[in-house]
Structure formats: C-alpha cells, structure tokens
Amino acid sequence: MKDSNELEGLILKYTAALKTLETQISILLQDYEYENNYNPVEHIKSRLKTYESASRKLISRGYEVNAKNIVEHVHDMVGLRIVCSFLSDVYKIVEMLENSDQITIHDKKDYITNPKETGYYSYHLLVYVPVYLIDGVTLVEAEIQIRTVAMDFWASLDHKITYKFQGKIPNEIKENMYKCAEDIHTLDQKMLKINNQMQEIKDDQEII
C-alpha cells in the first residue's frame, strides 16, 4: 500500500472495532445470563485479519490492494466467532444481537437452515460497530459467526484440509467431509432434543 499512514489509520479503526465488539458482546452475555440464569456460550474466539491475508483476498478477486478496497471488499477484517452448546442457543444469540442498540446488523446468512454445498453449517452476521475517535464516530464493519461446538469442530478440520490441499480437495475427501457434516447436524439435533427433555424434567421438578 502506497500510503502507510492510511494503512495505520485503518488498522487502528479495525483494532478499536474488535475491542468494542468484544466488550459489548461480553456485557450482553452477562446480562443474558443474569436475566435467564443460563449462559448459552461455550467460548468466543476473535481475530483481526492481517494485511497480508487481506491483500491475498483482494488479489484473488482481481482488486488492487489499497485501503478503499479493503474497506469495500474485505468484510471480515474484524472477525468474532461465538460457539454454543446447542442449536437453539445459536438463534438465542442472533436474537440478542438483533436487539442490541450498540451493534447494527446489515446482512445475515443462515447456513444452518441453508448449508453450503460443502456441508458447512453456521450462522453469519455482518455488522457495523461504532468506533469513537477524536474526529467523531466511525462505523466499522465486522463479521460474527455463530455455531455449535459440533459445527466448529467440523469447520476447523475443513479449514485444515483446504489449507493442506491448497483448495484442490480430492472428491473422495469432499464426499466424506459432507457425510460427516450431515452426521454432525444430526448429532446437534439429537443433543437439542436431550436438552429440551432435561429442561422439561427440571420445570416439572420445580412445579412439584
């Protein structure tokens, strides 16, 4: 990038957006747990995409590497992944974020209801996070992925396989990974059913 100052300013905004997003979600989850006596989240991972990774993404899509194109075409510079125990928890988190005044959702992709051809399951949100700087408020884009532990396990292995074969995965492995994704989705549904049964028993005991 020709103007290093422009890049530094951009990274500053993305770094601030990540910190803001982490803090806001932490507060929302604490409030949710207080109100419902239940924490739907197993763990949270966050990261800031490197300049090198953003550059490769732009080049692969035929764009010149500059600050303007990073902002307009790299939507996951700020990334946060929320991993839940159960399928129902995913949608509880989505609803919680939709009701937040501090985070503005501008795009949603439900890859749980409509999984990718590879077998990838997850729920993606593109959001705007307000960053307060000396010269005013700037809305910075970020991506939030919400998935179950089982989905996260599959996605992690899929990422490693894709990296190992540099995107050219043999058909046999693709087919086996897709079957595993279906098995994992079935497992998620079974675990959700067990969780619902546990909740029904707990509610009945409280009534007694």
Determine whether 146 is exposed, middle or buried from the number of CB atoms within 10 Å of its CB (0-12, 13-18, 19+): buried
Provide the percentage of residues in the chain whose pLDDT is more than 70.
96
142: phi then psi, degrees, rounded to nearest 5: -145, 155
CATH architecture for segment(s) 4-149: 2-Layer Sandwich (3.30)
Taking only the tens place, the pLDDT of each residue in 34-66 is 999 999 999 999 999 999 999 999 999 999 998
Give the start-to-end residue ranges of the domains of the chain.
4-149
pTM attached to this predicted model:
0.90
81 pLDDT more than 50: yes
167 pLDDT more than 90: no
